Amino acid sequence: MEAITQEKMRKIRKTVTEKYGIPRDVMIEQAGFQVANLVREKFSDGLKIAVVCGRDENGASGFVAARRLLSWGYNIAIYTPFKSDRLSQTAYTKLQNLKDIDQEVNMIDFPTANAYVDALTCHCESPLAGDVAEAAERWKNGLLIRSQWMHLQV
């Protein structure tokens, strides 16, 4: 898989929304679904999967992936190092969708799991710092699936 820069990703998102008319929320739902599908392909539903969510669209796609995995019967732990008031409106809405189905989202203790979904950051071009760096350090020895909130296949 080829890595792309943050600037190129911004251009891709803009093209998709403006030229093709696909709403950002649809892209986030699709990205979350694809991440959940990848987890389903790679891991049995007997494993504990932790979804670590950031505060922007990448975190929103993580909350969507967690919701999908829960609906498929997976043992999911959801963690974000951010308080609700620090989440983007999109991430907050996806978090509320989980709370609406009585799913606990841990904002204090980092979960132990067999595998982790990284929905924490997107296109890091500088070193991680603060809460984000601390969260990333904790899963360094676990199996990892990285979420990018929008994938394009041509």
Q: Could you state, in order of their start, the residue ranges of all structural domains in the chain?
A: 6-146
pLDDT at 14: 86
Task: Choose between 132 and 29: higher pLDDT.
Answer: 29
- CB burial of residue 118 (10 Å; 0-12, 13-18, 19+): buried
Q: Which CATH code is given to the segment(s) 6-146?
A: 3.40.50.10260
pTM of the model: 0.77
Identify the three-state secondary structure at position 63.
Answer: helix
One-letter amino acid of 110: F
pLDDT in tens, 19-70: 999 998 998 999 899 999 999 988 887 888 889 898 898 899 999 999 999 9
